[in-house]
Amino acid sequence: MILALVWLFLLLCNSAVLVCSLNEEGVALLSLKQSVGDDPERSLDNWNSSDNDPCSWNGIQCNEGKVFSISIPKKKLVGFLPSALGSLTALRHVNLRNNKFYGSLPAGLFDAQGLQSLVLVGNAISGSIPPDVGKLSYLQTLDLSYNFLNGSLPSSLIQCKRLKYLDLSKNNLTGSLPSGFGTALISLQKLDLSSNKMNGSIPSDMGNLSSLQGTVDLSHNLFSGSIPPSLGNLPEKVYIDLSYNNLSGPIPQSGALVNRGPTAFIGNPGLCGPPLKDPCSDAAGVVAPPSYPFIPTNYPSLTPDDGSDKSGKSRGLSKSAVIAIVASNIVGICFIGVLFTYCYRKVCDCSKGKDDSGSNFEKGSKVGRKECFCFRKDESETLSETVEQHDLVPLDMQLGFDLDELLKASAFVLGKSGIGIVYKVVLENGLTLAVRRLGEGGSQRFKEFQTEVEAIGKLRHPNIATLRAYYWSVDEKLLIYDFVPNGNLASAIHGKAGMPSFTPLRWSVRLRIMRGIAKGLAYLHEFSPKKYVHGDLKPNNILLGQNLEPHIADFGLGRLANIAGASPTLQSNRIASEKPWQQQSAASEVITVGPTISSGSCYQAPEALKIVKPSQKWDVYSYGVILLEMITGRSPMVQVGTSEMDLVRWIQLCIEEKKPLSDVLDPFLAGESGSWEEEIVAALKIALACVQTSPDRRPSMRYVSDALDKLTTSTD
């Protein structure tokens, strides 16, 4: 009996030692493991109570021995969230997206008052959002979308004044927005409340959210009342989606609410005025006439004058006025007929030159003391350099739309840069286009613009963005491209700011993209009608298609913007001649129609600071930097300690210090580098050749394309 008691005592002591060996933060995390009833991928298997601390556990990151981050996304975990997580005093980030957590949000979770991001998108969490959320004064990202939350938003939410990303879409939230929502949350950059059951009016102070970007989505709710005109104070590039609510009254025609297609307002039977087809009655108030997305206000009317005055009453003509008009028309027609007959009989041959004034007609030779003037057919049909024109000019004979269809289309702002605004335009027949607006005013060099844009329009290659048409007038210049649906390469490599869900590209996909870019550049450099230089290649202007195939965009944009008077921000001040993009050589003509790379760009070649005229080797260097970015997953500027250095210098430093390949690779690629290690090393060598300091030592893009094609085809 005594021996049994001694054995039991020793057993209890050993158990106490095991429990006591794990610190308090580890014990708090074990409560999460215990709350998980199903872990099919065994993600929490190494969460052991025998460890001293949890810093080596899957999904856990520590800072100075304290739990800093919990990140276990997409692991099919089934369970509930314990309150004990709130005891982690150094916790800053929680990412449990796309699991199967259920139950309510525990109030104790919000005791972790240093929390900066809470991402629980794609679970089955129900109940209301606790008022304790107001404790999180450092919170920047709150993504609770795609859950089953109900109830109204707590008024304490406005105490999270640092909030930048708020996504509560696809829930069952009700009630109105808290008072002071727009005044308090002025740091908001992303707002998505769509697909809930929220009601009440849209607060007028939402116009104060001047940091918003992208789409403000309030669609598919029960918001009622009128649209506050103050929403027009939001940044111009913001797209406001108010569709499918119970809003009523005229649509304000101001600021960010102007030039929006009907898609932003459909599903609100009480709304009226442009861009909807339902006119406002006198009771609703008279609204401004339609304002088209791209065309200036002086664009000629698309419909004939209906003979109405400003009051809407018919302006009938008297009988005598009608008779006078008919008679004057008959006399005028007869006079023109006589004049035409006389000129036809007296027509004379014209010289081939043009007079000094640049007129479209020329003075002919004297015949029997009489001088005659005649029009030259080739010149009379050519626009002068100052003519104002309102026609859509197709660069593709199979163009399936005209200007009227373009004007009636739904338009959404995709982005804005120093070279104008880019719109996504959806025609009534479903055709989607990208339209770049080059701005208003500026020099009116139509012929020069026409020459440049038609040269670009002749380029046809699977990896070059296709220019389909253009529009020119004194006050407006538009470029119409095929729409490329999957964003740009920069977002594919690094993700978008504020977007928690990001899946890095596999190596096979990265290699396929870089092959496509190389083929596109090789075409521009050697196989196009003229040998071109892009001059501003970077991930932002490489667009990704339906299957992530690359399309090199913005080719020739800087030159066109300069001609159109849009004052592009990328345009170099180091222009030496009136045609700075032409380079003459004995063998061939090389034309650069892209802007010079700015001195602050990480993708510019070293010689760009000294040489005015770009060369094809500039593009090779830029391509090499992008290839390094794809291999390393790092930004073009790398943080090293307290300082920064460009990616090329960082790679060179890693080589000098003989760092292992795993230190250089994108961490996501490191896990699969065993399969593709030889290809990755070969691609790294190609990139290093492209970023040589001396332009003469860089390969041609044709050589680069061939070298990439020689890598094993198992990635295709």
Give just the sign of the alpha carbon dihedral 303, 437, 565, 543. negative
Instruction: For residue 262, tell me if it sits in a domain.
Output: no
Angle 616-632/507-522 helices, nearest 10 degrees?
Answer: 180
Nearest to 66 by CA among 100, 92, 42: 92
Q: pLDDT tens digits, residue range 306-332? A: 444 434 333 444 555 545 555 555 545
In DSSP notation, 97-152 reads -SSEEEEPPPGGGGG-TT--EEE-TTSEEEEPPPGGGGG-TT--EEE--SSEEEEP
For the ranges 268-282, 317-331, 597-611, the one whose mean pLDDT is highest: 268-282
Nearest to 167 by CA among 136, 197, 146: 146
Q: Residue 444: which pLDDT band, with cuts at 50, 70 and 90?
A: low
Nearest to 412 by CA among 645, 224, 238: 238
- pLDDT for 411: 76
Answer yes or no: is pLDDT of 223 > 50: yes
Q: pLDDT tens digits, residue range 115-166? A: 999 999 999 999 999 999 999 989 999 999 999 999 999 999 989 989 999 9
Least confident range of 126-130, 344-348, 563-567, 701-705: 344-348
Higher pLDDT, 387 or 438: 438
Strand partners, 589: 584
- pLDDT for 290: 36
Count of residues for the chain? 716
Q: Tell me whether residue 205 is one of the annotated catalytic residues.
A: no
Q: How many beta carbons lie within 10 A of that of residue 648, not counting itself?
A: 23
Least confident range of 220-224, 294-298, 339-343: 294-298
- pLDDT for 594: 40
Higher pLDDT, 402 or 191: 191
Question: What is the percent of the chain where pLDDT is above 70?
Answer: 72
Tell me the three state secondary structure of residue 247.
strand
Could you tell me the CATH number of the domain that includes residue 33?
Answer: 3.80.10.10
Indicate the Cα dihedral angle 291, 292, 297, 302, nearest 10°.
-100
Domain range for 35 is: 16-249
- pLDDT for 306: 40
Structure tokens at 83: 């309150």
Taking a C-beta distance cutoff of 8 angstroms, is the pair 435, 422 a contact?
Answer: yes
Nearest to 472 by CA among 499, 508, 447, 503: 447
Characterize 66-105 residue by residue with b for buried, 16 or more Cβ atoms within 10 angstroms of its Cβ, and e for exposed.
Answer: ebbbbbbbebebbbbbbebbbbbeebbbbbbbbbbbbeeb
Instruction: For residue 273, tell me if it sits in a domain.
Output: no
Answer yes or no: is pLDDT of 10 > 80: no
Taking a C-beta distance cutoff of 8 angstroms, is the pair 416, 264 a contact?
Answer: no
Instruction: For residue 536, tell me if it sits in a domain.
Output: yes
Instruction: For residue 321, tell me if it sits in a domain.
Output: no
Longest CA–CA separation in the chain, Å = 146
Average pLDDT over the chain reads 75
Could you tell me the CATH number of the domain that includes residue 441?
Answer: 1.10.510.10
Taking a C-beta distance cutoff of 8 angstroms, is the pair 232, 207 a contact?
Answer: yes
Instruction: For residue 692, tell me if it sits in a domain.
Output: yes
DSSP state of 357: T
Nearest to 621 by CA among 558, 701, 551, 549: 701
Answer yes or no: is pLDDT of 17 > 90: no
Answer yes or no: is pLDDT of 518 > 90: yes
Taking a C-beta distance cutoff of 8 angstroms, is the pair 61, 94 a contact?
Answer: no
What is the pLDDT averaged over residues 568-585? 30
Rounded-to-integer distance, Cα 85 and Cα 137, Å: 17
Query: Which of 249, 276, 298 is a domain's end point?
Result: 249
Query: Which of 249, 274, 290 is a domain's end point?
Result: 249
Taking a C-beta distance cutoff of 8 angstroms, is the pair 74, 50 a contact?
Answer: no
Query: Which of 201, 234, 249 is a domain's end point?
Result: 249
Instruction: For residue 668, tell me if it sits in a domain.
Output: yes
Domain count, the chain: 2
Taking a C-beta distance cutoff of 8 angstroms, is the pair 436, 307 a contact?
Answer: no
- pLDDT for 143: 93
Instruction: For residue 352, tell me if it sits in a domain.
Output: no
Instruction: For residue 5, tell me if it sits in a domain.
Output: no
Answer yes or no: is pLDDT of 612 > 80: no
- pLDDT for 321: 52
**Alpha-helical regions (H) of 356-438:** 377-380, 403-408
- pLDDT for 327: 57
**Active site residue: 132, 143, 241, 536, which one?**
536
Provide the CB-side half-sphere exposure for 479 (13 A, CA): 29
